[in-house]
Structure 1
Amino acid sequence: MRLRFEYLLLCLLLIITSCGNTDVEDAEPPLDPDLGKSYFFLAPNKYREYAVYEIRYLAVDISDTLEYQLREEVREEFTVNGVESRLIHRLTRNDENENWQLDSVWSARVEAGWAVSVENNVPLQKMVFPVDTTRRWDRNLFNSRESRVQKYLTFNQPFTQGFNTFLRATVVEVSNERSQNPDGIDVTFRDLRTEVYADSIGLVRKEYEQLRFCTVGPCALQEIVQSGRYYREELIAHGFLDEAGN
């Protein structure tokens, strides 16, 4: 009788355990198993269009303001020393009423631990993988320029730009420098640069503010720009070249 009771109890436990397992779902795979590579998006035939606003400061009270559109197209692949890269065609126009005109050709690549963009023949280390907000890296590691340490400010967080919200974005701090006179009051130079990348899209915003201020005469007391540049790119459209005749 005791053996029969124990046998029934064992069967009951097996039934309960089996029923419990039916409620357990497999964990969803990560959206980006490489932790960041899909943010530096180099899918073939991908295009991105930007509204560009730029101010070039030539001297005190002398500046040029430019507004135009920029388009990037991820083009054919090529290999150098076993490393695969893609050509990036950059086209510009004043507004949507004009045809795109080729401005320059850059290239870009994603390797095991980093992403590199070759801009005007200067290779820049844009990102490192896996993305981690504690990481720091040298933007100029692959060129002869002075070292420039970058870092991630956020990763896989929403980013809102105008009426658009990108649910998964990462913000890269390219530079955050300010210099002052010895008295610590007047700012003489400001270099603030950030880039924002969205998952499966690529760059969605670039904002550079590199300004040198007047330090002599009356203008020194008013933080007036003497030279430098303000530059902003904002994504306005993206897709693939075979979509709707693009």
Structure 2
Amino acid sequence: MKPKQTYLFLIFSFLLLQACNNNDCGCVTPPQSGYGFFYPIYKQYVEYEVEETQYALSQEPLVKTYQIKELVDSFFTDIDGKEAILIKRFHRNNEQQAWKLDSVFTSKRLQDKALKSANNITYLKFIFPLKDKMTWDINQFNDLGKDEVIVENLYKPYTVNNQYFPITVGIVQQNDSTLVDLKKKIEVYADGVGLIYAEKTALAYCNTPDCIGKSKVDFGTRFIMKYKKNGKE
């Protein structure tokens, strides 16, 4: 490469790097710790759309829809002397109704983990720094029995409700599919927002010779919660 060409190449490379640093070129630098997926900000809220479906043999599926809002209400010092977060969950059937307090839970982020406590049960939600395909026991801090999750699609984009999130992570507790049943427990978190998608599915399929393999549901339940919007009060 000639000296003049080398000089121009270096200038171009420098300008491209600066553009990326300023986020002008659409490139995204992923966080290295994963802290951004657990992102408590005072008075920040996230609203969700929820659909619950119950299946029963020889009956039409029973579908229930409603909305949930989770609000970072306050920060406090817990019995271990650590900063913790009080989160309030609200419920309503539709946008014409006022929000009603549904439940309260707490969570906290330490240097190497994030915990969530509800109904006197503590779950290990994250281990930091996050790495793709890493696993941990979410019940490490309770007596419910070992239950491992696995990290998938770390720092990958995800779209929910036609809203695009450039940096997300999937936490998969269960994702088993056979000819006779389907079991899924999945959560997706977005950097700077938190939880944007959750699914809990447990379905039993028809397994008689005339319908096996056709995914015809005999009975079971499906719970899907999707991000709607977030903001601050």
**TM range, normalised to the smaller chain?**
0.7 to 0.9
Residue equivalent to 1:38? 36
Q: Write out per-residue CA displacement over residues 68-121 of structure 1, whole angstroms, 9 at most, x where no aligned residue.
A: 110000111221222221111000111111100001111111112111122333
Q: Judge conservation of contact 1:116–1:125 (CA < 8 Å) in 2.
A: yes
Larger radius of gyration: 1
1:224 to partner: Cα distance: 4.2
Q: Would you say how many aligned residue pairs link Structure 1 and Structure 2?
A: 213
1:63 to partner: Cα distance: 4.3
What is the rounded CA distance, in whole Å, between the counterparts of 2:205 and 2:93 in structure 1?
A: 30
Q: Are the structure 2 counterparts of residues 57 and 146 from structure 1 closer, same or farther at C-alpha, using a change threshold of 3 Å?
A: farther
What is the rounded CA distance, in whole Å, between the counterparts of 2:88 and 2:155 in structure 1?
A: 28
Residue equivalent to 2:146? 147
What is the rounded CA distance, in whole Å, between the counterparts of 1:88 and 1:58 in structure 2?
A: 35
1:201 aligns with 2:200: no
What secondary structure, in the 3-state scheme, does the structure 1 residue paired with 2:117 have? Answer: strand
* Matched residue type, 1:205: Y
Q: Are the structure 2 counterparts of residues 60 and 42 from structure 1 closer, same or farther at C-alpha, using a change threshold of 3 Å?
A: farther
1:165 to partner: Cα distance: 0.7
* Matched residue type, 1:176: N
Q: Judge conservation of contact 2:30–2:155 (CA < 8 Å) in 1.
A: no
Q: Are the structure 2 counterparts of residues 146 and 225 from structure 1 closer, same or farther at C-alpha, using a change threshold of 3 Å?
A: farther
Q: Write out per-residue CA displacement over residues 174-225 of structure 1, whole angstroms, 9 at most, x where no aligned residue.
A: 212346xxxxxx41x4221211111111101111212234557987786543
1:212 aligns with 2:204: yes
What secondary structure, in the 3-state scheme, does the structure 2 residue paired with 1:80 have? Answer: coil
1:133 to partner: Cα distance: 0.6
- The percentage of counterpart residues that share the same residue type is 27
Counterparts of 1:75-114 in structure 2, within 5 Å, are 75-78=73-76, 79-114=78-113
Q: Judge conservation of contact 2:131–2:151 (CA < 8 Å) in 1.
A: yes
* Matched residue type, 2:37: Y
What is the rounded CA distance, in whole Å, between the counterparts of 1:58 and 1:146 in structure 2?
A: 29
Which stretch shows the higher mean deviation, 56-65 or 216-225? 216-225
Q: Judge conservation of contact 1:57–1:228 (CA < 8 Å) in 2.
A: yes
Q: Judge conservation of contact 1:60–1:225 (CA < 8 Å) in 2.
A: no
What is the rounded CA distance, in whole Å, between the counterparts of 1:120 and 1:216 in structure 2?
A: 41
* Matched residue type, 2:46: R
Which stretch shows the higher mean deviation, 37-46 or 50-59? 50-59
Residue equivalent to 1:15? none
1:69 aligns with 2:61: no
Q: Are the structure 2 counterparts of residues 80 and 175 from structure 1 closer, same or farther at C-alpha, using a change threshold of 3 Å?
A: same
1:122 to partner: Cα distance: 2.2
Residue equivalent to 2:45? 47
Q: Judge conservation of contact 2:161–2:226 (CA < 8 Å) in 1.
A: no
1:134 to partner: Cα distance: 3.0
Residue equivalent to 2:170? 171
What is the rounded CA distance, in whole Å, between the counterparts of 2:172 and 2:183 in structure 1?
A: 11
Which stretch shows the higher mean deviation, 208-217 or 66-75? 208-217
**Which consecutive residues of structure 1, in runs of 5 or more, have no partner in the other structure?**
1-19, 180-185, 242-246
Q: Are the structure 2 counterparts of residues 98 and 86 from structure 1 closer, same or farther at C-alpha, using a change threshold of 3 Å?
A: same
User: Aligned Cα RMSD in Å?
Assistant: 3.0
What secondary structure, in the 3-state scheme, does the structure 1 residue paired with 2:41 have? Answer: coil
What is the rounded CA distance, in whole Å, between the counterparts of 1:215 and 1:121 in structure 2?
A: 40
Counterparts of 1:110-189 in structure 2, within 5 Å, are 110-178=109-177, 186-187=179-180, 189=181
1:44 to partner: Cα distance: 1.3
Residue equivalent to 1:17? none
